[in-house]
Copies of this chain bind each other. A is one copy, B any other.
Amino acid sequence: MAFIGGDARQLEVIKSCIEQNAKVSLIGFDNLQSPFSGASNRELTPSLLKTVDMLILPILGTDEEGYVSSIFTTKKLALSEEHIASLTSRAMVYTGIAKSYLKNLCDQHSIRLVELLKRDDVAIYNSIPTVEGALMMAIQHTNITIHGSVCAVLGLGRVGMTLGRTLAALGARVKMGVRRTDQAARSEEMGLSPFFMKDLHRHAGDVDLLFNTVPALVVTAKVLNRMPYSAVIIDLASKPGGVDFTYAEKRGIKALLAPSLPGIVASKTAGRILAQTMTRLMSEELEEEGS
């Protein structure tokens, strides 16, 4: 098992693998302040990679040139075709999200690639720190309490469900923007008043806080025109978000794009989520082989 580069979150993963008695090689961790006993620092070479069953890249994988970033080394780390080619057929590559560079390489050499952040379970676990980050921002950027406020949440997906549940638990009156009838039913069961996204503008008039999780332009000028000036918008959808930020600014409505909250507010939890998922996947792998 070899780790190439990463940030604080990766340390949690390494720790957890060592605890399970895996043989761990670290590449690009030379500046680590307190080195792990049970892991050895190595160079990124094809001969090393020939021996590993699992190659673990950072959350962001490589860039489009194959460079891997690491906050624990000053050296440059470049993952080349030669490296991937040297992996055995049973090896697996883990990362958070893969750029096409990495995807293509793995494809060409028939190496299995796991993009952890695309997994449903990881997205749900990650929704927890995401929501706590959103709460923090909501508390900071308003002069009212969440309790008693009218909150709109757009999208009852993996983040939206956690967010809606949490805001209601804090005492907000939550309106949930959905696009499917089963989501409307689930909202209602959870005590969140559902409305259909196509009617969003009609529900914007009394909103104190609007949280968007829909990765599409849904908070349009038409919607913003109906919102009170004092409303605050927190956009959680991945860039470029789902809000017409230019128009919001023009209208004087505070709108904030809030990316990467798990790493910001709960790096340790975020690391643990990845570590646990990876170790579970690995032990399943081993089980299957064993059987």
Contacts and interface: CB of A to CB of B under 8 A. Distances in A.
Interface of A: 8, 119-122, 124-125, 127-129, 132-133, 135-136, 139-140, 142-148, 161-162, 165-166, 169-171, 181-182, 184-186, 188-191, 265-269, 280
A16 B182 CA distance: 21
- In the complex this chain forms, how many copies of it are found? 4
A8 B186 CA distance: 25
Contacts of A146: 132
B185 A144 contact: no
Nearest to A271: B143
Contacts of A8: 143
Nearest to A284: B181
A143 B268 contact: yes
Contact of A144 (B122, B166, B268): B268
B171 A191 contact: yes
Nearest to A184: B121
B267 A181 contact: no
A162 B135 CA distance: 17
B124 A186 contact: yes
B133 A266 contact: no
B120 A147 contact: no
Contact of A166 (B124, B170, B181, B186): B170
A140 B136 contact: yes
A273 B215 CA distance: 32
A189 B139 contact: no
A126 to B, nearest CB: 9
Most B Cβ at <10 Å: residue of A122, A185, A188, A280: A185
Given A120-B185, A124-B189, A128-B147, 8 more contacts: A124-B185, A129-B145, A132-B139, A135-B139, A136-B136, A143-B267, A147-B189, A170-B170
Given A136-B136, A143-B267, A143-B268, A127 B189 contact: yes
A8 B8 CA distance: 42
B125 A185 contact: yes
A264 to B, nearest CB: 10
Contacts of A127: 189
15 contacts: A8-B143, A120-B185, A121-B184, A124-B182, A124-B186, A124-B189, A129-B145, A132-B145, A135-B135, A144-B268, A144-B269, A148-B188, A171-B189, A171-B191, A181-B280
Nearest to A266: B145
Contacts of A280: 181
Given A132-B147, A136-B140, A190 B165 contact: yes
A220 B128 CA distance: 33
Contacts of A121: 181-182, 184-185
A148 B270 CA distance: 13
B148 A269 contact: yes
